[in-house]
């Protein structure tokens, strides 16, 4: 072999080695831009002009820059322009934490930005992002798609037109026509932040969520949903519909594991099936126990077409009768004189009770009342008022130690007063018909008092009137039983039964200030005059 031919052969053999040696040599003061060739089956060097020098690699190509590794079928490296172009089965291993796959890649090594196309897939081990085009920064670990894509995290699938993935935080920020589909939740919004590690979805704009096979419907503008731990918290007055119930508040949250939920700030709870609404600044509920606690100016509305009942107190509570200890003995047998058996799974009005504590006030157009504590049972529709209860109907006031108000179809039907019962009916400026007894039983017709009976050491004062409604005398009497009958909301006649004693005095000879039975107190200043007063502090007696 001649010397010339031998020299030419040595140059051809050494050229790839020299080229490889040139690639792996770091330029002075700029080590971050260099992509090192770790492996390739074939390598070819090509210099097209003074500005273009290319290294072409094929077969099991393995490149690396810092902690980022690149794998592909073939690649072209433009050293002068800091560009790597890769083809076929591209795989970027970013510090063994984030893996990205595609069929095509163009990578700018000076900026550490990769543009991937065709069947792009990015995974952090918690979720998988797929799209047709992706921009990925290997330094900041931020990936962006703008032409549609999806993220699969466990059983949750999120799709959008645009998204930005933050690898260091495992966050994906979805934008434009965002849809989240999960076996338990469907979500639609325009912007959403989702963490593939914690599986928490954070809302930053109007969002519509459907859960529990469409039974629960949520509209919110901010908050989060924790899919892993099944709890959520929403702000900006979300609206949550769950079956027949609707909850609105400045802030609403729930935990599906414990069944606990809350609504704060001008909160509203409505149950269309039971015809009940509760307003409060703080609502706390438990769906598993079917309970609700309302505080901070709560108002409960028992809704009906006419004459709805409004109730307020410092604290309102509702729960199932079957969950209350000794409910049959304490609240059913004594009132109904029978044992009522309820199904624990029954969530209707029958298996429900309401309690109110401190500064209780009740308002309807036909009846108003105040007391310090109240208990209402759905099985017998009875309001039980304790601690100095007072009730008003038309121009009459009823007081006693304990008071039972029976309702039918949410209207007052009967009232029963135990111990120190007293009825006062204002008939003039300073004239009061009065009835007192150990017990008082009264009956209503269309919400107005029709008949009252006092029994046991009964006393009465009755202002008699003629046919022209002129006062003719004042009757003061005692009896074992005294009945008062009303017509058009005014006292019409009085009937005395058993052991009757009394006197009739001419009207002009009576000192009306002395016409008062024992413990007489006209307490009209405490009477709620309108439903709007229930949203204000109660009137205190002077």
Q: CA end-to-end span of the chain, whole Å? A: 128
Q: How far is CA 89 from the centre of its chain?
A: 48
pLDDT for the residue 250: 96
Give the separation between CA 409 and CA 317, rounded to whole angstroms: 22
Give the separation between CA 171 and CA 200, rounded to whole angstroms: 9
* pTM for this model (two decimals): 0.77
pLDDT at 14 over 50: no
Q: 17-47: per-residue pLDDT in tens?
A: 333 433 333 343 344 568 999 999 999 998 8
pLDDT at 276 over 60: yes
pLDDT at 460 over 80: yes
For residue 542, name the pLDDT band (cuts at 50, 70, 90): low
Dihedral angle computed from the Cα positions of residues 135, 138, 143 and 144, in that order, rounded to the nearest 10 degrees: -30
Other C-beta atoms within 10 Å of 495: how many?
A: 12
Percent share of the chain, pLDDT over 70: 89
Coil, helix or strand at residue 6: helix
b/e burial code for range 7-33 (CB count within 10 A of at least 16 → b): eeeeeeeeeeeebbeebeeeeeeeeee
Q: Kindly give, in sequence order, each residue whose CB lies less than 8 Å from that of residue 348, ignoring residues fewer than 6 positions away.
A: 273, 274, 378
Q: Which long-range contacts (CB under 8 A, 24 or more apart) does 8-16 make?
A: 15/45, 16/43, 16/44, 16/45
pLDDT for the residue 427: 86
For residue 5, name the pLDDT band (cuts at 50, 70, 90): very low
Residue with the larger pLDDT of the pair 394 and 90: 90
Measuring CA to CA, which residue among 149, 153, 162, 147 is closest to residue 124? 153
pLDDT for the residue 136: 94
CATH of domain 337-542: 2.60.450.10
Other C-beta atoms within 10 Å of 58: how many?
A: 17
Of 24-38, 111-125, 391-405, 435-449, least confident by mean pLDDT is: 24-38
pLDDT at 330 over 80: no
pLDDT for the residue 410: 73
Please give the full DSSP string across 285-350, using - where no structure is assigned.
EETTTTEEEEESS-EEEE--SSS-EEEE-SEEEEE-GGGSTTHIIIIIIHHHSS-----TT--SGG
Backbone torsions φ then ψ of 45, nearest 5 degrees = -110, 135
Q: 158-211: per-residue pLDDT in tens?
A: 999 999 999 889 899 999 999 999 888 899 999 999 998 898 999 989 999 998
pLDDT at 147 over 90: yes
Cα–Cα separations (whole angstroms), residue 239 to 251, 256, 293: 10, 17, 19
Report yes or no: 184 and 177 within 8 Å, Cβ to Cβ. Answer: no
Please give the full DSSP string across 411-431, using - where no structure is assigned.
EEEEEEEEEEEEEEEE-SSS-
Please give the full DSSP string across 187-242, using - where no structure is assigned.
EEEEEEEEETTTTEEEE-S-EEEEETTTTEEEEESEEEEETTTTEEEEESS-EEEE
Q: 420-434: per-residue pLDDT in tens?
A: 899 998 888 889 999
Q: 54-78: per-residue pLDDT in tens?
A: 999 999 999 999 999 999 999 999 9
Other C-beta atoms within 10 Å of 214: how many?
A: 8
For residue 349, name the pLDDT band (cuts at 50, 70, 90): low
Measuring CA to CA, which residue among 370, 479, 475, 467 is closest to residue 433? 475
Residue with the larger pLDDT of the pair 472 and 409: 472
For residue 338, name the pLDDT band (cuts at 50, 70, 90): very low
For residue 491, name the pLDDT band (cuts at 50, 70, 90): confident
For residue 16, name the pLDDT band (cuts at 50, 70, 90): very low
Any bridge partners for residue 416, and if so which? 404, 441
CA torsion sign, 136 to 140 to 141 to 146?
negative
Give the separation between CA 9 and CA 5, rounded to whole angstroms: 6
The DSSP code for 540 is P
Average pLDDT over residues 484-512: 86
pLDDT for the residue 244: 87
Q: 220-231: per-residue pLDDT in tens?
A: 999 999 988 989
pLDDT at 4 over 50: no
Residue with the larger pLDDT of the pair 347 and 126: 126
Average pLDDT, the chain: 85
Question: Residue for token digits 């050229």?
Answer: 15
Please give the full DSSP string across 365-383, using - where no structure is assigned.
SS-EEEEEEEEEETTTTEE
Average pLDDT over residues 304-316: 88
Report yes or no: 525 and 370 within 8 Å, Cβ to Cβ. Answer: no
* CATH 2.60.450.10 domain range(s) in the chain: 337-542
Q: How many CA atoms lie within 13 A of 423 on its CB side?
A: 37
Coil, helix or strand at residue 89: strand
Residues in the chain: 542
pLDDT for the residue 366: 84
**Helix count and strand count (H, E) for the chain:** 3, 40
Any bridge partners for residue 64, and if so which? 36, 69
Using DSSP bridges, classify how beta strands 396-399 and 390-393 pair: parallel, antiparallel or unpaired.
antiparallel
Report yes or no: 463 and 489 within 8 Å, Cβ to Cβ. Answer: no
For residue 334, name the pLDDT band (cuts at 50, 70, 90): very low
Report yes or no: 353 and 331 within 8 Å, Cβ to Cβ. Answer: yes
Average pLDDT over residues 516-528: 91
pLDDT for the residue 440: 92
Measuring CA to CA, which residue among 174, 256, 186 is closest to residue 214? 186
pLDDT at 302 over 80: yes
pLDDT for the residue 213: 74
Q: 369-380: per-residue pLDDT in tens?
A: 999 999 998 888
Average pLDDT over residues 406-423: 87
pLDDT for the residue 79: 87
Reading the block at residue 39, the tokens are 């492996």
In three-state form (DSSP H/G/I as H, E/B as E, the rest C), the secondary structure along 487-502 is ECCEEEEEEEECCCEE
Backbone torsions φ then ψ of 418, nearest 5 degrees = -110, 130
CA torsion sign, 276 to 281 to 286 to 291?
negative
pLDDT for the residue 348: 55
């Amino acid at each position: 072999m001649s010397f010339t031919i031998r020299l030419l052969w040595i140059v051809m053999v050494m050229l790839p080695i020299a080229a490889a040696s040139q690639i792996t040599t770091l330029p002075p003061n700029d080590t971050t831009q260099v992509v090192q060739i770790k492996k390739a089956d074939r390598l070819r060097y090509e210099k097209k002009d003074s500005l273009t020098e290319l290294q072409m690699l094929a077969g099991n190509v393995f490149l690396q820059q810092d902690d980022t590794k690149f794998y592909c079928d073939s690649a072209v490296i433009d050293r002068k322009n800091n560009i790597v172009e890769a083809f076929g089965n591209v795989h970027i291993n970013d510090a063994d934490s984030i893996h990205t796959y595609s069929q095509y890649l163009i990578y700018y090594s000076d900026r550490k930005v990769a543009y991937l196309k065709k069947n792009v897939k990015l995974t952090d081990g918690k979720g998988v992002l797929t799209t047709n085009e992706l921009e990925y920064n290997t330094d900041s670990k931020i990936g962006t798609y703008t032409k549609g894509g999806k993220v699969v995290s466990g059983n949750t699938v999120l799709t959008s037109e645009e998204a930005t993935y933050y690898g260091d935080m495992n966050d994906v920020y979805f934008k434009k026509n965002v849809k989240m589909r999960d076996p338990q939740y469907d979500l639609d919004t325009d912007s959403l932040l989702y963490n593939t590690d914690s599986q928490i979805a954070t809302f930053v704009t109007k969002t519509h969520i459907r859960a529990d096979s469409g039974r629960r419907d949520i509209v919110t503008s901010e908050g989060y949903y924790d899919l892993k731990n099944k709890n959520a918290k929403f702000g900006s007055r979300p609206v949550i519909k769950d079956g027949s119930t609707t909850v609105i508040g400045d802030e609403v949250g729930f935990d599906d594991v414990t069944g606990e939920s809350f609504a704060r700030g001008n909160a509203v709870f409505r149950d269309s099936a039971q015809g009940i609404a509760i307003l409060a600044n703080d609502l706390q509920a438990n769906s598993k126990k079917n309970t609700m606690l309302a505080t901070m100016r709560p108002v409960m509305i028992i809704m009906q077409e006419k004459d709805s009942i409004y109730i307020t107190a410092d604290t309102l509570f509702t729960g199932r009768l079957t969950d209350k200890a000794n409910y049959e003995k304490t609240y059913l047998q004594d009132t109904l004189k029978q044992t009522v058996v309820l199904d624990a799974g029954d969530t209707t009005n029958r298996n429900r009770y309401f309690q109110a504590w401190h500064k209780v006030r009740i308002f309807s157009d036909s009846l108003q009342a105040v007391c310090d504590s109240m208990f209402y049972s759905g099985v017998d529709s009875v309001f039980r008022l304790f601690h100095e209860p007072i009730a008003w109907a038309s121009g009459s006031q009823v007081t006693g130690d304990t008071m039972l108000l029976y309702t039918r179809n949410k209207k007052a039907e009967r009232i029963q007063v135990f111990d120190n019962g007293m009825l006062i009916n204002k008939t003039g400026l300073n004239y009061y018909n009065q009835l007192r007894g150990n017990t008082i039983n009264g009956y209503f017709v269309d919400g107005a008092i029709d008949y009252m009976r006092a029994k046991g050491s009964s006393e009465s004062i009755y202002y008699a009137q003629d046919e022209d409604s002129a006062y003719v005398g004042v009757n003061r009497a005692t009896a074992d039983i005294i009945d008062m009958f009303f017509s058009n909301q005014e006292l019409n006649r009085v009937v005395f039964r058993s052991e009757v004693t009394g006197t009739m005095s001419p009207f002009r000879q009576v000192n009306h200030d002395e016409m008062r039975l024992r413990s007489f107190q006209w307490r009209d200043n405490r009477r709620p005059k309108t439903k709007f007063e229930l949203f204000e502090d109660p009137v205190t007696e002077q």
